[in-house]
Amino acid sequence: MKVLVVGAGTMGHGIAEVVAIAGNQVYLSDISKDILNSAVDKIKWSLSRLYEKGQLRESPEDILSRIKLVVGLNEEVKDAELSIEAVPEKLELKRQVFSRLEELLPRDAILATNTSSLPITEIAYAVKDRRRVIGTHFFNPPVLMQLVEIVRGKDTSDDTVKKTYDFIVKINKKPILVNKDVPGFVVNRVLLRIITTACMLVEKGIADHKTIDAVARYKLGLPMGIFELVDYTGVDVNYYVSSAMIERGFKAYYCKTLEEMTKKGELGVKSGKGFYTYPDNKYVKVN
């Protein structure tokens, strides 16, 4: 199958990797060559880790050869049968991408979004045929996280749901179907409640972020601390996701710290500094 992934950032490059590992041809599109090159470096690193552990059936080179890099969205991608959009969590930007995809791709191509928080139905307003718009919400890092939420928008057809479900199974992920297009779907309604509560405890001076992370790891048994996870997924992503959900009626504490850090460019692992520091912009386990 030919799959277009739009956006080669934290999620997009990982989704492209997963899709290529499963044997599909991938177009990976972003606005600049530099972003795409950095995405390829991350995919290479990840594939080599998996290869060393015997978790790939092919060489990293063979898998990489199925990923074609595309700057911008142009005719090169016009035979894609499915697109997965993973651009920043901004409604207008996503709508622009969807409107362009409708112009470029075959009429029966599925148009999926990896949004974490924006209603599928609101994104779908950008296209005329909304039956083929659907949510496919992957988790970071896509290559290691099994779960994908498949989210049905108001106008998504049963056929689109079925084909998307089958595709997610074929790329060796475990889908759950979310039939109600509520902000944050299922996972982020739970997760953002935890993150914003942790933030409230820090902002009110009840505990510091390191104490809360120790509680998460050593008492709750989570693989990462809560603030560590925010750094890992992106402080900005968590700011945009929580804001979008709260704007749409989700009742949670508004974490001012996320807003301030985003404005300062303290975005977590990808910028080298968030709640913790990351030399070389790489994730290092916090002890």
127 CB neighbour count, 10 Å cutoff: 19
Residue whose C-beta lies closest to ligand 3HC:
116
Catalytic pick from 116, 117, 238, 243?
116
Catalytic pick from 149, 228, 242, 266?
149
Catalytic pick from 89, 114, 117, 137?
137
* Whole-angstrom distance, CA of residue 36 vs CA of residue 221: 36
Query: 149 catalytic, yes or no?
Result: yes
CB of 76 to ligand 3HC, least distance (A): 27
Q: 160 vs 233, which CB is nearer to ligand 3HC?
A: 233
Q: 77 vs 119, which CB is nearer to ligand 3HC?
A: 119
Specify whether the CB–CB gap between 63 and 21 falls below 8 A.
yes
Q: 84 vs 229, which CB is nearer to ligand 3HC?
A: 229
Q: 162 vs 174, which CB is nearer to ligand 3HC?
A: 174
* Whole-angstrom distance, CA of residue 70 vs CA of residue 262: 28
Query: 209 catalytic, yes or no?
Result: no
Q: 56 vs 201, which CB is nearer to ligand 3HC?
A: 56
Query: 13 catalytic, yes or no?
Result: no
CB of 286 to ligand 3HC, least distance (A): 9
* Whole-angstrom distance, CA of residue 69 vs CA of residue 141: 20
CB of 246 to ligand 3HC, least distance (A): 15
Chain positions contacting ligand 3HC, by CB under 6 A: 46, 49-50, 116, 139-141, 143-145, 188, 191, 223-224, 229, 233, 237, 241, 285
CB of 191 to ligand 3HC, least distance (A): 6
Catalytic pick from 46, 188, 238, 242?
188
CB of 175 to ligand 3HC, least distance (A): 15
Query: 188 catalytic, yes or no?
Result: yes
Phi/psi for 3 (5° steps) reads -125, 130
40 CB neighbour count, 10 Å cutoff: 18
Ranges of H-type helices in 175-278: 187-203, 209-218, 226-233, 235-247, 256-264
Single out the residue of 85, 107, 237, 82 nearest to residue 171, CA to CA.
82
* Whole-angstrom distance, CA of residue 146 vs CA of residue 143: 8
155 CB neighbour count, 10 Å cutoff: 17
Residues annotated catalytic, as ranges: 116, 137, 149, 188
